[in-house]
Structure 1
């Protein structure tokens, strides 16, 4: 029988790459903690209705990209294609807003969409996301944007740009939607097939088309910024002023509408020119109507998600990371020596040292070569003689300095060893 391979659109994240993922997660946790955001872990699959109602049935995500199946109870289940809807469902179901307090939440984990795999985009992909529920203030919009900026800057990314737009409230969008349909209808036959289909269902998505002719047509389309009510305009102006106050550079992009139906007012993307066509690293915005749409009380909210795969590509270009080296590489030969080596390794790990235990039983020469390749500063050696006398040889691999200690002496010098290892 042939070997079983990973499904198209999924990939194994191997140890040399995992160190980048751990770096992102560590930085994100620190930034969120300093801003009093708490982690939430919703399920990976939900009722299909959650995403159909929350994201919008006219979107490509719901119409073409979701992994949906019937379970044994004949319920329609969907692997989550994004994180916000699940967080909002938990917010409502668990009554997180009962005290009237603002909820600052963050999450990380895999998402699933049936898309054409390419660099930085897989069918199983991962996101880090933040959601601030319970505040309609433009301060909340800027707080979440600043958080994303902090994470990316702390990771060392500099060649980034923030695109900003307002998609207004429901009334603003309704008026703009009709103006856009009126403008595009005479060009309907010239639009790409997807855009022709979207013309009456979801015309704002036509502004995202990658088709060259469609892009040429939309260059002359009306701007949603011309259809904002005074309240919406004021909100957008305050967001811009506070970004300026925080020295966060931005550019207004009136074609930025995001792909999900739940957005209102502020929409934004953080992009990198280093990723080619798939330039967006972080995207988000305000979604004041989503909580009510999913059965909760009217609750303003704003949030974003960072695409981990795209971010990792940037980090790999920016820096070289290696898996951490152990403090000790422990070699042994013979049954009794191997048994003692296992006990010694466990004791050292208990005291906070990282220890790689050679399990090969090969000749000492081969084990020493692996010790050199491990990057460990020191090697601990137990042969049959050492095992009989409860001893261990300590060899510093850089200087080749070596000494024989009883195992008790080794443990009496742990503080000294820790200082020397650094």
Structure 2
């Protein structure tokens, strides 16, 4: 479905409940399968988390059965479940996904698990899903891998570490990327009672068969909050948006939004379980420069915000974006240039030079990428715009279009 967006109300004053973090939910769902003593509140209602739950329920099938698990576009689930199913003793699983998922590399994680003794083979192309996992008991121990890979590979190994006979000790070679996501994983492990350490480039998780009963509450998703930061930045002075439920000391790397969007005149105040975004000034910045190694998922939102405000931007640390749901750097360049902006990209950066006049009624292609759809939607505050294949938002934020209506963005389905 294609959606045509426009807005006459650019001065919102609303409160919105955001679903639980997809990143936290998927980590805790896997941990709950390893440690049934855990209960979880405020689980994400995203497609990714639903696929994760469905995949984990496949364990209820007979041990002798070969289970085919299709996680569609859910990249986090693919990485986490690769590690999870590799330690399910006497359980054979074929893990597959969408056409795009079969183009996303998994070799680094598979090689690391093979170092531990895992029995994993490729069904088609070497290094890519689908993969076949012959689950077995693993002793664990030392594993070495490159530090600048997706943090999801590292988190996948850490999440199963406590159920390995000798725990796990990761030795990371080079500069570590997306550190907040690794720290999120370790913090959740500590919260349920496991012992971890992170010193230099060595991360370890000590073995533990059982944990005490504990209720875990998932914080709302900061990546989803980014689109409301963009709305606030593009709105009139005095606009206010309240989002819940959020923590001031968040585990999520994307919480850096509160600091970044100050540059665009948006002030964040923390209340008991929510954040209030208020547009306080129209800042006339000519250019901004951010290193987003620890929060690459908000790059698309920031680039579109800058386009809407007529601000140039240089965004660095984006080396993981080409292997996401689409090549996000190439996609951003194509779609922003449709609107009149000028974009150059490298293997790890994006450089935007904005336009004085954003073109109206341009149709934005989303490339089956939820963040492309959501990042461009706030531009409706500036010009009428069309989002193609708008249903893709369900991957992480099923209520997105309803909540856009709450801030005054009118949508008409094609």
TM-score bracket for the superposition, by shorter chain length: under 0.3
The structure with higher relative contact order (CA 8 Å, sep 6+) is 2
Structure possessing the higher radius of gyration over alpha carbons:
1
Structure with the higher fraction of residues in helix conformation: 1
Q: What's the TM-score, normalizing by structure 1?
A: 0.24
Q: What's the TM-score, normalizing by structure 2?
A: 0.24
